[in-house]
């Protein structure tokens, strides 16, 4: 029987890819019964380069026999994952993710925060139209796939406030979703072992995946 598969997208501000947000996370997913792989999407590359690469990888995994393909991303990788799940598809079909798990994600390109990732992805002077077209909270429709988000309220690197805008958009559109904002935790926690409340996120995400029929 074809299996579900989740592609892990590490963070790194669209400048680099953080190893601790890659293979250890894929190993955790395999431990809860979800086939998983790490995709090293292109960095220091302007939009739509990273999105096109992620969508090509989704198509490749489907062609290899996966019945459903999800994405899990951290920080800028969370933004890439969100685009793969929420942005309109152009050209070849089959590149839209069936599910997204966004971990302390960069969400908005119109909000004043996230300027580091935005400058790399969109250039230093992007048009308002391009910023809107790459803001996750503006891309949600009733046809969007399920989304799980976790963040920490005092993350100094990536502002949590756009997460609430995304949550509002998901709720308004009736998209199945879960949002967990823990009160404290540094940016870049990865699996967050030993970090207090944020360390619960793998169990929370695994339970959500089980409820959706993706995990055992």
Indicate the burial class of 174 (C-beta count within 10 angstroms; 0-12, 13-18, 19 or more): exposed
- Count of domains in the chain? 1
In a domain, 40, yes or no: yes
Mean pLDDT of 33-56: 98
- Residue 1: the pLDDT is 38
- For the stretch 162-188, pLDDT in tens is 999 999 999 999 999 999 999 999 999
User: The CATH number of the domain where 85 resides is what?
Assistant: 3.40.50.1820
Domain carrying residue 98: 4-211
- Residue 27: the pLDDT is 98
Q: Is the pLDDT of residue 2 over 70?
A: no
Mean pLDDT of 94-118: 94
Mean pLDDT of 46-71: 97
Q: Please check whether residue 74 is in contact with residue 103, taking contact to mean a CB–CB distance below 8 angstroms.
A: yes
DSSP state of 144: P
In a domain, 216, yes or no: no
CA pair distance 80, 134, nearest whole angstrom = 9
């Amino acid at each position: 029987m074809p299996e579900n598969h989740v592609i892990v997208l590490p963070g790194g501000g669209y400048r680099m890819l953080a190893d601790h947000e890659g293979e250890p996370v894929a190993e955790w997913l395999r431990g809860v019964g979800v086939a998983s792989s790490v995709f090293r999407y292109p960095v220091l590359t302007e939009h739509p380069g990273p999105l096109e690469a992620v969508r090509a990888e989704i198509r490749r995994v489907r062609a290899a026999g996966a019945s459903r393909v999800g994405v899990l991303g951290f920080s800028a990788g969370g933004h890439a994952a969100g685009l793969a799940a929420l942005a309109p598809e152009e050209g070849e079909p089959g590149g839209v993710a069936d599910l997204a798990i966004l971990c302390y994600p960069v969400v908005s390109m119109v909000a004043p925060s996230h300027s580091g990732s935005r400058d790399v992805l969109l250039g230093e002077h992007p048009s308002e139209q391009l910023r809107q077209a790459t803001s996750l909270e503006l891309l949600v429709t009733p046809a969007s796939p399920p989304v799980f988000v976790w963040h920490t309220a005092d993350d100094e690197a990536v502002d949590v406030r756009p997460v609430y805008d995304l949550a509002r958009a998901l709720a308004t559109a009736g998209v199945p979703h879960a949002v967990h904002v823990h009160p404290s935790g540094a940016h870049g926690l990865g699996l967050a072992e030993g970090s207090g409340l944020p360390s619960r996120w793998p169990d929370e995400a695994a339970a959500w995946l089980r409820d959706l029929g993706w995990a055992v």
